[in-house]
Chain A
Amino acid sequence: MSTGSHQWSGERIFFAAALVLALVMGTGLCFLLVAVNKHEAVQSKTIDSADIVPILPDHARQLVDFSLTDRTDRTITRAELAGKILVVDFLFTSCSLTCPVVNKHMAEVQQLTTNQPDVKLVSLTVDPRSDTVDVLAEYGQKFGADTNRWLLLTGDKTQLHELIATSFLNPDLDDPFTYMPGNFSHTDRIAVVDAQGRVQAYFDGLNENVAAAIVAEIARLRK
C-alpha cells in the first residue's frame, strides 16, 4: 500500500512536472506564434510597399524660414505653415513630361487628405522668373489646386533656391545636356515635412502609387 501510494505520488509529481512543462511550452509556443505572425506581418507590409520605399534625407533637413508669394498674391511665410504636415514638390511650369505627372499625384494627395486640416501641399518653382504669380495661378487651376490647401509659391530666386537647397534638394545635378535654374537633383521627388518642420522622407513623385504612400506616411507621422 505504501509502495503503491509512493508510486502514485511519484506519478503525481510527474504529472505536475508535465503540466508545468506544458504550460511553459504553451506560453513559449504562444510567444513563438506571435513572433512568427509579427515577422510575417512586417514582411507582407514590406512586400506591399516594395515598389515605393520612402527615401530618407541624406542628412538632417529642416524647413528654413522663407517669405514667398503664392498664386493669389498672398505672402506666405514659414511661420504660417508652422505645425502643419507639408507635402512639397518642385516644378517649373514649362516642364512638359515629369512635372505634370508629379502634380497629378499632388492633386491625388490633395483629394485623399481633404478632411485633414493639418496637411498642406506646397509647390516650389525652380524658375520664378518664368513662373510668375499669374503663370502659377493658371498652372494651379489646371491641377484643381485648392487655394487654401495647395500653395504654389514663387518669389525671389535666391531665396527660393536657398530654401530648396537647404531644406530639400542638392544643387548638384550632373547632366551636361540639362540646364535648369538651381541645377537641382531629384526634382521629381515629393518631400514630406512633419509638423515640427523636419523633412521626414521623400517619395518618387512619378510612381503611380505615390499618393497612397504619402498618405500612409502622414498617418505614421501623427502616431
Chain B
Amino acid sequence: MKYLMGICGLLLAALLVYSTFAAPDKAAGSTAKMFSARGIVQQIAADRQQATIKHEAIPGYMMAMTMDFPVKDTNELNRIAPGDEITFKLVVNETNDWIERIQFVSHHIGAVTNKTVVIPTADFDLKPGDLLPDGELTSETGQVVHFSDYRGKVLAFTFFFTRCPLPDFCPLMDRNFSNARQLLLNNPYAPTNWQFLSISFDPAFDTPEALANYARLYRNDDAGHWLFAAASTNVLANIAPRLDLVVMHEGLSISHNLRTVVLDPQGRIAKQFDGNKWTPQQLADAMREAAGKK
C-alpha cells in the first residue's frame, strides 16, 4: 500500500508537471473563446509569426480595425500574401490571443495593393532644342566656370572621374575627345567657335591639381579648346536626372554610365551620345552641324 501510494505520488507529481506544460492547451479547450473573422492581410512579419490584418467587425468581440495578430501555425500563411482576403478564427483566453484556421478567400487587386507612384514624365528629360540649366564648375586652374560662359560657342561635354579604372569608359571618352579635337583642328573648313569640357563627378578627389595632372595625359601641352573641371554636388543633382546620368558611389569606386552632350551656341541641346559606341568623327560632325545652326 505504501509502495502504491509512492507510485501515486509520483504519478500525481508527473501529472502536475504535465498539466503545467499543457496549461495553454487546456485553457484553450476550457475557457478560450473562438470568433470567426474575415479581413485583408496588410503585412506579414518576417518570421511569419504575426500578421497585420484589416478585419471586419468581429461580432461580440471587437469592431472593424487593423490589428497585429499572433499566428498559431505559421504554415497556414504559406500561400498568403499582403493584399489577400482571408477568413480566420480568433482565439482568446485569459492571457493570450492568436489566429488559426486561416483560409485564403481571394486576392484583392487594387483594394490595398499597388500604391500609385508618381514618376517624373519623359518631359523632364533634356531633348534636342532644350536649354541646358546653367551650373557652376571648378576648373583645373581653380577658376569657377559656368556652362553659360560658352554661349556663342558649340560646347561638347562629357563626364568622367580621374580614378576611373575601366579603359573602355572614362579614358575612352577622353581619347575620343582628344581625337575629335584633332579632327576639328586639322580641318580647315571646321568652325573655330567650339569648346570641349570634361566634367568630373568626383569633386572631393578631383581637385584642380588632380584635374590638371590628368588633363596632361590626354591633351599634351596644348590646352586649346579643351578644359577639365569638376561639378559640385548641386550641379549634378540638377543635371544628372535630366540626362539619365548614373553616378553611384560603390566603396572606393564610382559606378556610372556615359553621357556626352553637344550644345549649340545658344546653350541648347544639339546632340547627345549615350554609351561608348560613338566615334570621334561622329562628334566632330555633330560639332560642325551645331555650329551651323542659327
Please state if B115 and A162 are interface contacts (CB–CB under 8 Å). Answer: no
Please state if B18 and A28 are interface contacts (CB–CB under 8 Å). Answer: yes
Q: How far is the CB of B124 from chain A (nearest CB, A)?
A: 10
Kindly state whether residue B45 has any CB partner on chain A within 8 Å.
yes
Kindly state whether residue B36 has any CB partner on chain A within 8 Å.
no
**Which residue of chain A lies nearest to B123 when distances are taken between CB atoms in the complex?**
A158
Which of A54, A60, A178, A196 contacts B248, CB < 8 Å? Answer: A178
CB contacts (< 8 Å) of B112 on chain A: these are 59-60
Digitize A202-223: 1 where CB-to-B-CB distance is under 8 Å, 0 elsewhere: 0000000000000000001101
| Smallest CB-CB A-B distances: 6 pairs | A60-B83, A179-B240, A60-B82, A165-B117, A60-B113, A97-B250
Which one of A81-89, A116-124, A127-135, A143-151 is at the interface?
A: A127-135
**Known contacts A56-B82, A158-B122, A199-B81; A179/B253 CB under 8 A:** no
* Chain B interface (Cβ < 8 Å from any Cβ of A): 1, 4, 7-8, 11-12, 14-15, 18, 21-22, 41-47, 78-79, 81-84, 107-109, 112-117, 119, 121-122, 125, 166, 169, 233, 236-237, 240-241, 244-251, 253, 255-258, 274-275
Please state if A130 and B275 are interface contacts (CB–CB under 8 Å). Answer: yes
CB contacts (< 8 Å) of A162 on chain B: these are 117, 119
Which one of A18-26, A68-76, A104-112 is at the interface?
A: A18-26
Q: How far is the CB of A156 from chain B (nearest CB, A)?
A: 8
Please state if A64 and B43 are interface contacts (CB–CB under 8 Å). Answer: no
Please state if A165 and B119 are interface contacts (CB–CB under 8 Å). Answer: yes
- Most chain B CB within 10 A, of A57, A161, A167, A180, is at A180
Q: How far is the CB of A69 from chain B (nearest CB, A)?
A: 17
Please state if A31 and B22 are interface contacts (CB–CB under 8 Å). Answer: yes
- How many angstroms between the C-alpha atoms of A135 and B42 in the bound complex? 39
Instruction: Find residues 1-44 in chain A having any chain B CB closer than 8 Å to their own CB.
Output: 11, 14-15, 17-18, 21-22, 24-25, 28-29, 31-32
Which of A53, A60, A166, A170 contacts B81, CB < 8 Å? Answer: A60
Q: How far is the CB of A16 from chain B (nearest CB, A)?
A: 12
CB contacts (< 8 Å) of B42 on chain A: these are 59-60
Please state if A98 and B241 are interface contacts (CB–CB under 8 Å). Answer: no
Q: How far is the CB of B52 from chain A (nearest CB, A)?
A: 10
**Known contacts A64-B114, A127-B257; A25/B83 CB under 8 A:** no
- How many angstroms between the C-alpha atoms of A223 and B78 in the bound complex? 7
Which of A32, A59, A156 contacts B115, CB < 8 Å? Answer: A59
Beyond the given pairs A62-B113, A178-B249, A181-B246, 11 more chain A to chain B contacts, judged by CB atoms under 8 angstroms and listed by A's residue number, are: A11-B1, A18-B8, A54-B46, A57-B82, A59-B115, A60-B42, A60-B108, A95-B246, A156-B122, A166-B115, A223-B78
**Known contacts A53-B46, A60-B42; A179/B115 CB under 8 A:** no
Count of A residues near B, CB < 8 Å? 61
- How many angstroms between the C-alpha atoms of A175 and B176 in the bound complex? 31
Q: How far is the CB of B163 from chain A (nearest CB, A)?
A: 12
- How many angstroms between the C-alpha atoms of A130 and B47 in the bound complex? 39
* Chain A interface (Cβ < 8 Å from any Cβ of B): 11, 14-15, 17-18, 21-22, 24-25, 28-29, 31-32, 46, 53-57, 59-62, 64, 92, 94-99, 127, 129-130, 135, 156-158, 161-162, 165-167, 170-171, 176-183, 194, 196, 198-200, 220-221, 223
**Known contacts A92-B257, A130-B257, A179-B245; A25/B15 CB under 8 A:** yes
**Which residue of chain A lies nearest to B19 when distances are taken between CB atoms in the complex?**
A28
- Most chain B CB within 10 A, of A99, A178, A179, is at A179
- How many angstroms between the C-alpha atoms of A59 and B115 in the bound complex? 8
Q: How far is the CB of A168 from chain B (nearest CB, A)?
A: 11
- How many angstroms between the C-alpha atoms of A54 and B44 in the bound complex? 11
**Which residue of chain B lies nearest to A97 when distances are taken between CB atoms in the complex?**
B250
CB contacts (< 8 Å) of A11 on chain B: these are 1, 4
